[in-house]
Amino acid sequence: MVREIGKTNTIFNQFLKEIRSESVQKDRARFRRNMERLGEIFAYELSKTLEYKSEEVSTPLGAAHMNIPESFPVLATIMRAGLPFHQGLLNYFDHSDCAFVSAYRKHKKGQDDFTIRVEYMSSPPLGGRVLVISDPMLATGASMVRVYEALSEKGKPEHIHVVSLIASKEGVDYVKKEMPGNTTLWIGAVDDELTAQAYIVPGLGDAGDLAFGSK
């Protein structure tokens, strides 16, 4: 299942427009904050899919019965670009456990081809849990699939949510093909073009560099 939430007219698209804008991107702090805001909106939308239970809470004047999540998902992100986006998700799912994966493109000298290297992973057990993997950009989809393969060493999740701000059609198709059937994709916008160097067009540029400076 693919949910492209930018298709609905909401304030989400204002923040998405700003992170795409060359002029607004010059304000690095605002770029990070907008990624965080977008993560918060994704968290709100994703929360509608969780299982809920009734719980009583005491107020100064009596008792109220509230429906609250039965459990919170594990929030995983790909460092470093995903960190502000992850923080937005964590602002709402503040009872969640977190997982972090270091993955990068290893280019062949003088060529556009690359492989995905995973060098570090920290994750709680994932068996039977809901897993959310966030990465701002879903270009070829190879990084997302490789990161899930690494995380799967910690157990088989009950459900997987892949959350990205901008994706290419190619990346969406690849993730749908390679990820397990119990996967939902949450995308802000799907762009048509992917360059030979695997950059999304129009996209927004390099999210990690825009958030934290050039490598």
CB 166 within 8 A of CB 136: yes
∠ CA 198-100-52, nearest 5°, is: 105
Q: At what angle do helices 28-47 and 83-92 cross, to 10 degrees?
A: 40
d(CA 190, CA 198): 15
pTM score of the predicted model: 0.91
pLDDT in 10s for each residue of the chain, 215 residues: 899 999 999 999 999 999 999 999 999 999 999 999 999 999 999 999 999 999 999 999 999 999 999 999 999 999 888 999 999 999 999 999 999 998 765 555 555 555 667 778 899 999 999 999 999 999 999 889 989 999 999 999 999 999 999 999 999 999 999 999 999 999 999 999 888 777 899 999 999 999 999 87
Which phi and psi (to 5°) does residue 188 adopt?
-75, -50
pLDDT of residue 12: 97
Predicted local distance difference test score (pLDDT) of residue 137: 94
Question: Going from the N-terminus, what domains does the chain have, and what CATH number goes with each?
Answer: 2-50+73-212 (3.40.50.2020)
